[in-house]
Chain A
Amino acid sequence: MPPAAPEILEETRTTVALDVPWSVVVHNDPINLMSYVTMVFQRVFQFPREKAEKHMREVHELGRSTVWSGAKEKAEHYVQQLHSHLLLATMEQVE
């Protein structure tokens, strides 16, 4: 006699959705001093001075610079930090 087919009591399906990363973007502002913006990047992101200056120049010359990408909560934290230093910063979902 063939073995009885197992009875399916419940079928479950698991899907894994990766969080879409977010970017932290700093926008140009003619009032903020370049040296001040550099200092803020060093302080908030612990960038070495050269990297902080590179992003500062990008903001100044191109109008914006993406300074960080990653999880939404951390992006919010960084934008909050940048706003506390009065930089024009936004978070954007990476396309």
Chain B
Amino acid sequence: MRMRDDQTGSLSLSGLPPFLAQLLREIPVMADPGEDPAALERIFSPPAMPATLPEIAEDWSEFVRPGLVEWFQSTRDIVALDLARMKEDEPSPELPLGDQTEPTYRLSIGARHFDAWLNALNQARLALAARFGLTETEMNRSPRQPLLDERDHRIFQVDFYGYLQEMILARMMGDDPAGV
């Protein structure tokens, strides 16, 4: 996978193998907590500790939560639109035709969509961790290769989304993006 900035400030990803392209396509689905209680509890966390919650919770549910639902949905929609424009890379002229067995993909994320991507990636990471009960210890250990089961797969997915968040953040904050 390669990353580069273009002159418009967009972030371009190319050479994405099908596995990573598929993980990207899953962002809007994974980010949606649906009816999963653990994911819902994390995405819509309580605004106060239990002692003071009753006097705040009612107004919060009535006036704040609907706005959050709408905002999170709008970020997922923007990401879904960008993902719908993901294309197959042109075959590399440097490689003999016989070596180009697996297609790779490219995707451009406009600077105006960085906020939506950051948010949707965060929703997806939090919802995945809550849904699969991923622990801090699991998240901190080096990813296992190969990925042996669904749990390994989900940990890798959370890590990959985190890596993308770091890259987008580095551009937004004007930092030197490490590892690109």
Residues on A lying within 8 angstroms of B by beta carbon are 29-33, 35-36, 39, 76, 79-80, 83-86, 88-93
B139 on interface, CB distance cutoff 8 Å:
yes
Q: Which one of B64, B122, B126 contacts A80 once the chains associate, using CB atoms below 8 Å?
A: B64
Nearest A-chain residue to B125, judged by Cβ: A31
Task: Using C-beta atoms within 8 Å of the partner chain, give the interface range for chain B.
Answer: 20 to 34
Nearest A-chain residue to B45, judged by Cβ: A88
Once the chains bind, are B45 and A39 in contact (CB under 8 Å)? Answer: no
B173 on interface, CB distance cutoff 8 Å:
yes
Residues on B lying within 8 angstroms of A by beta carbon are 43-49, 52, 56, 64, 67-68, 71, 118-119, 122-123, 125-126, 129, 136, 139-140, 158, 162, 165-166, 169-170, 172-173
8 CB < 8 A contacts A-B: A30-B129, A32-B126, A36-B169, A76-B56, A83-B64, A91-B47, A92-B49, A92-B52
Which B residues are CB-close (under 8 A) to A84?
Answer: 68, 71, 119
Which B residues are CB-close (under 8 A) to A30?
Answer: 129, 136, 139-140
